[in-house]
Chains A and B, each alone.
Chain A
Amino acid sequence: MVFSSLEFLFLYLPITLICYYAVPLRWRNAVLLIVSLIFYGWGEPRYLFLMISTIALDYVCGYLVGRWQGTPRAKTVLVIAVVLNLAILGFFKYYNFLADNLRLIPLFDFLPDLNLSLPVGISFYTFQSLSYVIDVYRGDARAQHDPVAFGAYVTLFPQLIAGPIVRYHDVDEQLREREHSVLMVSSGIRTFCAGFAKKVLLADVAGALWADFAAIPADSRTVIAAWMGILFYTAQIYLDFSAYSDMAIGLGKIVGFRFLENFDYPYTATSVTDFWRRWHISLSTWFREYVYIPLGGNRVGKWKLVRNTLVVWLLTGLWHGASWNFVLWGGYYFALLMLEKLILTNLLAKLPMAVRRLYTMVFVIIGWLIFTASDSFASGAEAWRYFGAMFGVGAAGFASGTDLYDLLRNLIFLAIVVIACTPLPRRLFYRGFAQRRWVRIAASAACIAAIAAGTVYLVASGFSPFLYYRF
């Protein structure tokens, strides 16, 4: 189930919240566990067992690591947990990709085509569950002896299928005790509504426009059409994914959890390094804490630093999907980040803000073209041709009349999209919220309008898939 669906908003959510608030405090984790399993099973009943075994595995491992803390046995259990978790993830996510590539070598052509479908959210919940065992091993968190609380942590429906990736030590306390208050619920509703509107009214619309532009035959693709298309995709992927995080954070607050922010206006970044501090923060943090730092982080020699960064970025690329373009995408960011770290930092600092933002966005946009290549194009060559058209190579002229018509008719929409990608709305809200009553009333009215307008668009489209659903 996805949040931007009628059955979530008008069936699952009311029932879940009524059950949650109807039971006494000590049963609320149990309610959360049950409703979250239903949430997951709704889309993937067959993979429920997989998720339950991950929970059981990491519960037992965490328990043992906690018990044997400081002994070599704890390390053994940790290694077992890491290997098994990654083996499950690796098998379900990467088997097809691996087998397809290995079969190119005659020695491996016995590998069967298992046609596995990717269990929804496996990349998210495996990382989450794994962080628990590691946190316990490092002493960052106590072992959770209550299997219900642990199960609730792994399955928590708000962030189960598309993040943010909540590390265990960030919610350890909240699993025992959290704030249920009017303030948290109303604040949660505001965050959820902002995300819901962003997803249904902006991201899905931008996505449909990208689909239209991507479908223009290469022979009649103009420079402007190529740029408009990839810009709509750029808008879609941020609005879609950050909307999901907003909805997750909002729903979390409604049931008393504070999750960490996952996005910090990445399209206002002033360098590629800055972009990655602001984009999918929970994933970068995860890789930093559980891969980069254990490898030695940046307190190592130059070559080891390069190696560590390369490892992290190839893994980040592969995490997004089992396909070569994601590896390329990871490598692309490795190269850019290294370039910035070793050469460009001082140069960039001298440039005006506007130039730095423009520089960042151009590379981010090209990055998205690599990112979507396997999804949006029939072949790498097609994606390459699209890239060429952006810079006039093989393009059918600069702009066609229809391109300009599409630009003109989407001007208001584009303006809204641009504003939605900046901190401007949030800043206005901050400034007025404390002092002015009308701002608070307007904010509430906007929430209700968001639910209403979002529902109108949902009913009208009947189609609203999440991009990040499959990672």
Chain B
Amino acid sequence: MAKQHPADMEADRLIQIQRGLSPATRHGDIALIVICALLILSFAIGIYCIPHRDFSETENDVLQTFPRLSSTGKFLDRLWDGRFMAELKDFYTDQFPFRDKLVAAKASMELLLGKGENNAVIAAKDSYLIKRIEYSESELDQLTQNLDAVTAFREGVDLPVTFALAPRAIDVLDSYFPAVYQNDRAESVWTLIDAYAAEQPLLSLRELLRTRAAAGESVWYRTDHHWTTRGAYYAYAELAALYGYTPTPIEQFTVEIASTEFLGTTYSASGFYGTESECIEFYRWDGDDACTLEILAGDEMISSFNGFYDRSYLEKKDKYAAFLSSNNAHMRIRDTQNPDKPTLLLIKDSFAHSVVPFLAQHYNLEILDLRYYRASTVSAFLEKNQVDGVLILCGLDSLATSNLLTALPIGLT
């Protein structure tokens, strides 16, 4: 038999030390066992005693309730392929007692350890929550594919095409960064963008918003990844200059405070649940209610309403979705008072939603979200519908993390 490993001799020695202690120390051992047992049992039983939630507002996601033990045959099936166990696992994660408090506690512990961020969300100055976004090789590939698709599209259509890029919070809010934070890894994607912009027309909205942010204007939500309506206005003003008309001065809009209780996506991801909520504003102009927004599936209209705002979302967590009623594959905006405005085809992600109310002063809009639009191709759409120009307006992050624009040139010759 081989000789004993030093590590085992150590372990034996510890047990011997414990054995050699006076019997009184056994009370301490018993106390440890009892406290651990109580701690574990209280949560083990507690999870079945508290009310279970079906939906988490913070995460904007459906929660797993206790897996159903329905008819025996099905139950055995679900046991055999492991679905029951997977659901039970989710149940424990989703319904754990004091879950939100524990998630917040983790965020606080990370700050205590001096990490300055949690789940890649930086706790920045003035309660700004800024998501760190750094792209991997495959995300940069995705971005290149999207950019190339725009180039191919531009070459394949006979219409004026404008391509405007919304930056990420981290590109704009550098004046709010904590002193120690250095942005160069997140920044490196701009080498690629700048190289593209040197070859192809691209309206980058970054510098303008960054200057405004540095001047203390709130162009970005503190708790969300989108720009504020004020930020959207500056994007609109920049577009207007490009299109050659004078943008409506900002003072001429009536600001409606739609909600003061907005806590956005960055907030949810961060775990910094002590952060204060903020306002969502609608910039209203005379006659904007005369515009109708139609949501279409194929050629059929599913629903429509007046104006650009679906206020039912203001009661929910995702209040930004009140702009244009969240993401839809195809929307159409018509001004019933001035039907003769030129028509703009807008290819977009959610960044465009808060810009549309400004654009609608000058245009009727056909709005496509190519992540969801399956009815036909953009080229077929252009054959069927008369438009005067195309605007591609989306966030940089969508280009790196989704195939937002890759379907653009399909069917063009």
Contact = CB atoms under 8 A, between A and B. Distances in A.
Interface of A: 1, 5-7, 9-11, 13-14, 42-46, 140, 169, 182-183, 185-187, 189-190, 212, 215-218, 220, 260-261, 263-264, 277-278, 281, 285, 288-289, 378, 400-405, 408-413, 426, 430, 433-434, 437, 440-441, 444, 447-448, 451-453, 455-457, 459-462
A274 B105 CA distance: 41
Nearest to A462: B93
Contacts of B125: none
B7 A263 contact: yes
B96 A186 contact: no
B26 interface: yes
Contacts, number: 172
B380 interface: no
Contact of B14 (A45, A220, A430, A457): A430
Interface in B6-48: 6-8, 10-11, 13-15, 17-21, 25-26, 28-33, 35-37, 39-41, 43-44, 47
B287 interface: no
Nearest to A13: B40
11 contacts: A5-B92, A6-B89, A7-B89, A10-B43, A189-B32, A285-B5, A409-B114, A426-B10, A440-B28, A451-B39, A456-B109
Interface of A is mostly: helix
B113 A412 contact: yes
Given A183-B19, A183-B29, A434-B17, A451 B92 contact: no
A44 B107 CA distance: 34
Contact of A186 (B29, B85, B103, B114): B29
A409 B116 CA distance: 7
B99 interface: yes
Given A261-B5, A413-B115, A456 B182 contact: no
B41 A14 contact: yes
A220 B184 CA distance: 10
B82 A6 contact: no
B119 to A, nearest CB: 8
B281 interface: no
Given A182-B33, A189-B36, 10 more contacts: A45-B80, A46-B80, A190-B32, A409-B180, A410-B115, A433-B18, A440-B28, A455-B43, A456-B109, A460-B107
Contacts of B21: 434
B136 interface: yes
Contact of B109 (A11, A44, A453): A453
Interface of B is mostly: helix
A261 B113 contact: no
Nearest to B119: A460
Given A42-B85, A434-B17, A441 B116 contact: no
Contacts of A440: 25, 28
B41 to A, nearest CB: 6
Contacts of A260: 5, 7-8
Interface residues of B, number: 69
B44 A217 contact: no
Contact of A434 (B15, B20, B140): B20
Contacts of B198: none
Please indicate which of the listed interface residues A6, A185, A401, A440 has the most CB atoms of chain B within 10 Å of its own CB: A6
A216 B180 contact: no
B33 A402 contact: no
Given A13-B40, A216-B185, A220-B185, A185 B1 contact: no
B136 A460 contact: no
A345 B315 CA distance: 73
B103 A459 contact: yes
Nearest to B135: A217
Contact of B33 (A46, A186, A288, A409): A186
Given A43-B82, A264-B5, A264-B6, A409 B43 contact: no
A459 B40 contact: no
Interface string B61-85: 0000000000000000001111001
Contacts of A459: 93, 96, 99, 102-103, 106
B2 interface: yes
Please indicate which of the listed interface residues A187, A404, A459, A462 has the most CB atoms of chain B within 10 Å of its own CB: A459
Contact of B8 (A7, A189, A261, A444): A261
A222 B361 CA distance: 49
B245 interface: no
A222 B108 CA distance: 31
A409 B177 CA distance: 14
B93 A6 contact: yes
A405 B180 contact: yes
B271 interface: yes
